[in-house]
Amino acid sequence: MLTFSAYQRFAADFAVDRELIRGCMAACEPLVIEALSVYAQRALWRGSLPVYPRLTTPQDNGGWGHLMPLWFQPHERPVPFHTLDNWGLFALVYRASFGDSPEAQELAARVFHVQNLVRLVAGADMLIPFLPSTQGQGYFFRHGMLPFLLSILWFDEPTRTDWLRLHELGARRFVQERQLAAHPDPITWLAEREFAIFARLERNSIHHDREVAAFLSDTSPDSLLHLYRDLFGALNLGVTALAHHYQPKPLDAWRTWFYQEISFPYRLPEYAADAITAFLNQAHE
């Protein structure tokens, strides 16, 4: 599935313009403000969050090329959301992370399209600049998955359940491929993998079709593609572990538990480690 011809098909379906990103941000903004409560109130400017989209191309995407479709500097005010004009490569590898089972294909056909994908990422990223600080001790694959999960919960049913199920399929696939359920210290492995992934993704020089083709053709264990696939595998794992952790609250009652979580547990360095460990133990049984 990770071929250049597949990328060309995804590029045709996942073009992003200013109207789309603005519309997704506008749809998410009231939910972001509600979820963040007093943390949002401190940041509001004339009743709105100080964020705005800035459309980019792979060539001027801050060194992230095709691989990071939306990025920002969280301490800037206002916060520019640098938004790639085509999410085809990101979408291709993200979609591949769920696997090719008949269930994954059916679910992806229903919900994995550009409008939903942009809204999901925009919703998560609109939360992050205004969350309480983790004092430099946060991890994307653990702390960063809480806003990602909440953004999924903002979808209406059955889209919400379909997205959660896709991530669970991807999580179980990732755990099996990387044998994480039997790993002696999976939390440390994830932290080290996170550092390795982002160190390689930045300044990647994947700007044009020829670089995309070369990126997709290198399937060696130390390739950038291998790391990029692990980015989505770890994302699937983090989202799914937290979904299982918060399910008893229950998930759709996020208004009753999200603010409490970001006010204390989220700020701790060990946040979500127990949730991931519990999911891995379940997968090992």
pLDDT at 46: 86
Q: Tens digit of pLDDT per residue, the chain (285 long)?
A: 899 999 999 999 999 999 999 999 999 999 999 999 999 998 898 889 999 999 999 999 999 999 999 999 888 899 999 999 999 999 999 999 999 999 999 999 999 999 999 999 999 999 999 999 998 899 999 999 999 999 999 999 999 999 999 999 999 999 999 999 999 999 999 999 999 999 999 889 899 999 999 999 999 999 999 999 999 999 999 999 999 999 999 999 999 999 999 999 999 999 999 999 999 999 866
List of residues 6+ apart from 44 with CB closer than 8 A: 33, 50
Whole-number Å distance between alpha carbons of 284 and 271:
22
Q: What is the DSSP letter of 56?
A: E
Pair of tokens at residue 85: 């004009």
48 SS3 class: strand
Scan for tokens 């891995």, then name that residue: 280
15 SS3 class: strand
Task: Say how many C-beta atoms besides its own lie within 10 A of residue 183's C-beta.
Answer: 15
pLDDT at 43: 87
Q: What is the largest CA-CA distance in the chain?
A: 53
pLDDT at 285: 63
Scan for tokens 């390739």, then name that residue: 223
Torsion 86-153-135-30 (CA) sign: positive
Which value, in Å, is the radius of gyration of the alpha carbons in the chain? 18
Q: Do the beta carbons of residue 24 and residue 30 sit within 8 Å?
A: no
pLDDT at 75: 85
| Torsion of Cα atoms, 70 then 17 then 6 then 223, to 10° | -20
71 SS3 class: strand
Whole-number Å distance between alpha carbons of 103 and 142:
27
Q: Do the beta carbons of residue 278 and residue 241 sit within 8 Å?
A: yes
Q: Do the beta carbons of residue 35 and residue 148 sit within 8 Å?
A: no
**What single letter denotes the amino acid at residue 106?**
E
Q: Do the beta carbons of residue 72 and residue 125 sit within 8 Å?
A: yes
DSSP string, 133-148: P-TT---TTTTTHHHH
Strand 51-56 relative to strand 79-84: parallel, antiparallel, unpaired? parallel
Q: Is 0.85 topped by the overall pTM?
A: yes
